[in-house]
């Protein structure tokens, strides 16, 4: 997202703008006859700020969205209630399901164990808040037959019905 300091501005305002957006945030500074601009790597100045829809821009936007989704959070009660409504299970049932899964000695395609650390999971289940980016969310979600997209939508909306939808 670009930033703009319109003329007239003082030398101090100009210096503060450059320090804030170039030195602190790493944006590129461009000056025109009417304003001073701070531009992201995927933006260019052609009379006005234009998004240069490059692969770099697409990757940056995807990274920002992934970071945003990872920080979505719900309370433990929200998550347990949703799992109960959608799957008829509570956290104790989840622990049992994981224990059963671990007994099958699960292996990845590379031959590494994919078992889930039960003690660590129990600690996670005691947390006040569940963050979407926590890897245990995906692990348990997979055991429950949930896709990453379903989990993302659930954390975005806190709507347990997102956990009911069947994958196409």
pLDDT, one tens digit per residue, over 144-158 is 999 999 999 999 999
The Cβ of residue 155 has, within 10 Å, a number of other Cβ atoms equal to 24
User: Does 9 score more than 70 pLDDT?
Assistant: yes
The Cβ of residue 144 has, within 10 Å, a number of other Cβ atoms equal to 16
User: Does 56 score more than 80 pLDDT?
Assistant: no
* CA proximity to 137, closest of 93, 83, 101: 83
- Give the pLDDT mean for 102-120: 85
Q: Which of the four pLDDT bands, split at 50, 70 and 90, describes residue 1?
A: confident
* CA proximity to 130, closest of 141, 116, 119: 141
User: Does 168 score more than 60 pLDDT?
Assistant: no
The answer to whether the CB of 83 falls within 8 A of the CB of 89 is yes
């Amino acid at each position: 997202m670009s930033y703009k300091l319109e003329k007239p501005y003082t030398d101090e305002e100009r210096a503060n703008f450059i320090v804030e957006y170039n030195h602190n945030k790493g944006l590129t500074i461009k000056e025109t006859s009417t304003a001073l601009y701070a531009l992201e790597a995927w933006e260019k100045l052609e009379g006005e700020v234009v998004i240069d829809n490059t692969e770099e821009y697409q990757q940056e936007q995807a990274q920002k969205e992934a970071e945003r989704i990872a920080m979505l959070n719900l309370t433990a009660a929200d998550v347990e209630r949703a799992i109960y409504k959608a799957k008829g299970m509570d956290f104790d049932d989840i622990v049992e399901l994981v224990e059963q899964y671990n007994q099958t000695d699960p292996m990845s395609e590379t031959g590494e164990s994919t078992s889930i650390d039960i003690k660590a999971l129990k600690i996670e289940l005691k947390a006040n808040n569940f963050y979407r980016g926590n890897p245990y969310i995906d692990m348990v979600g997979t055991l429950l037959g949930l896709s990453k997209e379903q989990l993302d939508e659930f954390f975005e909306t806190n709507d347990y019905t997102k956990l009911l939808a069947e994958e196409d």
